[in-house]
Amino acid sequence: MALRLDADVVVVGAGPAGAAAALFAARRGHRVIVFDKQAFPRDKPCGEGLMPAGRPALRELGLEDDVISDGAPPLDGIQFGIAEQPPVAVPFPEHNGGEPAGLGIRRLTFDARLVDALAHDTRIQFCPRTAAREIRTGDESIATVSTESGEVRARFVAVADGLRSAFRHRLGWTVGPRPPHRYGIVAHWTMDAPVDPWVRITFDRGLEVYEGRATERSRWRCGHRCATPTRLVRFQRWVRSGTAHRP
């Protein structure tokens, strides 16, 4: 007797990758269950820049205009620089014959918009605050996903549990990141001066400092990565030396 399926597709993780996978699957007529272990809206460290290549996917999902009306300002390109030297500006190339700009968007806003789209699609059952614990594949090409609130069976499972994906390692698809590990700190400020439409990446003695705007209303964001935890102290000093104030 054929096993009953709870969904065609189960998606683990409702970040941009999981939410987009779920929405694309649902738009093609599949029944989808999405699990995320967190409650939404949820924030996460991110440079909060949507590259030009991401916009056609948003457009196809009918979400690009919503994201722009949520206050996402355009980003024209990237300025690379070394501390205390003039930067080199690289404009984003035109994408698909006419789309030059990326978008700056707060993750809180962007992820909430995606999750809202999940909640409004009748083919999607969205289950926040539900961690997936195990994925098993069995006979008849059916996968079972066990969560803290029970098991579901589906034909396909999309594992979209993030950069540090535990499932990816557990399922033997990749090995973990090798040292030296990189760390990121993100902060937001409201500026008195207008904010220009460039992402700025500055290399400074082992640090990479990312700056750009994340909303139209002169809000500034800073993404940052570094190779060792001790260097975070230098970044904290850099953050504190700013003249801007926190919103």
Ligand X SMILES: Cc1cc2nc3c(=O)[nH]c(=O)nc-3n(C[C@H](O)[C@H](O)[C@H](O)COP(=O)(O)OP(=O)(O)OC[C@H]3O[C@@H](n4cnc5c(N)ncnc54)[C@H](O)[C@@H]3O)c2cc1C
Tell me which residues in 31-90 interact with ligand X (CB under 6 A): 35-38, 44-49
Give the residue closest to ligand X by C-beta: 15
For residue 47, the minimal CB distance to ligand X (Å) is 3
**Is the bond preceding 180 in cis, omega lying within 30 degrees of 0?**
yes
| H-helix or E-strand spanning residue 203 | strand 198-204
For residue 224, the minimal CB distance to ligand X (Å) is 6
Residue 11 is which amino acid? V
Q: Which residue of 163, 169, 181, 236 would you call a contact of ligand X, by CB under 6 A?
A: 163
The nearer residue to ligand X, 12 or 31, going by C-beta atoms, is: 12
Three-class DSSP category at 167: helix
Determine the Cα–Cα distance for residues 44 and 186; give it in Å rounded to an integer: 9
Three-class DSSP category at 57: helix
Q: Which residue of 109, 209, 223, 235 would you call a contact of ligand X, by CB under 6 A?
A: 223
Nearest 10 degrees: Cα torsion 155, 173, 58, 99: -140
For residue 220, state whether it binds ligand X (rule: CB under 6 A). no
Which of the ranges 12-20, 25-33, 170-178, 189-197 carries the binding residues for ligand X, by CB under 6 A?
12-20
| HSE-up of residue 146 (Cα within 13 Å, Cβ side) | 4
Are 2 and 40 within 8 A, CB to CB?
no
Number of residues lying near ligand X (CB under 6 A): 27
Q: Which residue of 11, 115, 117, 132 would you call a contact of ligand X, by CB under 6 A?
A: 132
Which phi and psi (to 5°) does residue 137 adopt? Answer: -105, 140
CA neighbor of 11 nearest in space, from 141, 161, 121, 119: 161
For residue 5, state whether it binds ligand X (rule: CB under 6 A). no
Interaction mask 177-196, ligand X, x per CB under 6 A: -------x-x----------
For residue 2, the minimal CB distance to ligand X (Å) is 27
The nearer residue to ligand X, 1 or 172, going by C-beta atoms, is: 172
Burial class (CB in 10 A: 0-12, 13-18, 19+), 140: exposed
Which of the ranges 65-73, 75-83, 157-165, 187-195 carries the binding residues for ligand X, by CB under 6 A?
157-165
Determine the Cα–Cα distance for residues 187 and 214; give it in Å rounded to an integer: 11
For residue 159, state whether it binds ligand X (rule: CB under 6 A). no
For residue 213, state whether it binds ligand X (rule: CB under 6 A). no
Residues making contact with ligand X (CB under 6 A)? 12-18, 35-38, 44-49, 131-132, 160-163, 184, 186, 223, 225
